[in-house]
Structure 1
Amino acid sequence: MDGTPQEITTLVGREVYSNNGVFVGEVEDVRLDVNGNAVTGLALGELNRELFSDVIEGRNGVMIPYRWVRAVGDVVLINDIIERLQQPNSEEEGEAVV
């Protein structure tokens, strides 16, 4: 994207990859702040089951904080989620699971 404001609905359907090139999932929805002024999270579905096998038992998706997003273009690039999910004492782990 070139910095021009875009409709938030353009995020829906985009594939999400870690900055290491690992497929994470596909954006199914977005979470907004109370005033609707900013995206605060991405709801992912069509997950990479190998990546989330220990985290999503019986669940269909995850919610990731938007602050993990590094870039948005044809795909969404996020910080390396594998490292974040493997830290059991991380505050952000609780935010990752829906």
Structure 2
Amino acid sequence: MDADAGPQEITTLVGREVYSNNGVFIGQVEDLRLDLDTEQVTGLALADLNLDLFDERVRGARGVIIPYRWVRSVGDIILINDIVERMKDPEQEAAA
């Protein structure tokens, strides 16, 4: 989102693809978690997940919620910290 464009509707985030800052696809924004008291977005509910990253952790769930503090930038896509990639178990890394 262009800083000069002024405030944007939060619904513009829905449907955007989310990538790590290393370029790995994470998922697609399906919904938002809001703190109504502070009127701030606190999380992104992702669906259409990259199962290579989440398959063992979600086990049949429709998606995950990631904290909004992980978001690095928002534009045509959303970039987040590579923390999600680092969630892989060391045993999975060795097997790959």
TM category (shorter chain) comes to: 0.7 to 0.9
**1:26 and 2:28 matched:** yes
Gaps of 5+ in 1: 88-98
Q: Which runs of at least 4 in structure 1 moved beyond 3 Å after TM superposition?
A: none
CA distance in 2 between counterparts of 1:20 and 1:39 reads: 24
In structure 2, how many angstroms separate the alpha carbons of the residues matched to 1:19 and 1:79?
6
Alpha-carbon offset, residue 53 of structure 1: 1.3
Within the candidate set 39, 42, 45, 1:43 is matched to 45
Displacement of 1:82: 1.1
Give the structure 1 partner of residue 62 of structure 2.
60
- How many residue pairs end up in the alignment? 86
Q: Match for residue 85 of structure 2?
A: 82
Q: CA deviation at 1:36?
A: 5.6
CA contact 2:14–2:29 (8 Å) conserved in 1: yes
CA distance in 2, matches of 1:79, 1:64: 11
Deviations 1:28-75 (A, max 9, x none): 000011326110000000001111111110111000000000000000
Residue 56 of structure 2 aligns to a residue in which SS? coil
* Greater percentage in helix: 2
The share of aligned pairs that are identical, in percent, is: 64
SS of match in other structure, 2:66? strand
Residues in 2 aligned to 1:10 and 1:34: alpha-carbon distance in whole angstroms: 18
CA contact (8 A) 2:53 2:88 kept: no
| Structure 2 unaligned residues grouped into runs of 5+ | 90-96
Q: Secondary structure at the match of 1:54?
A: helix
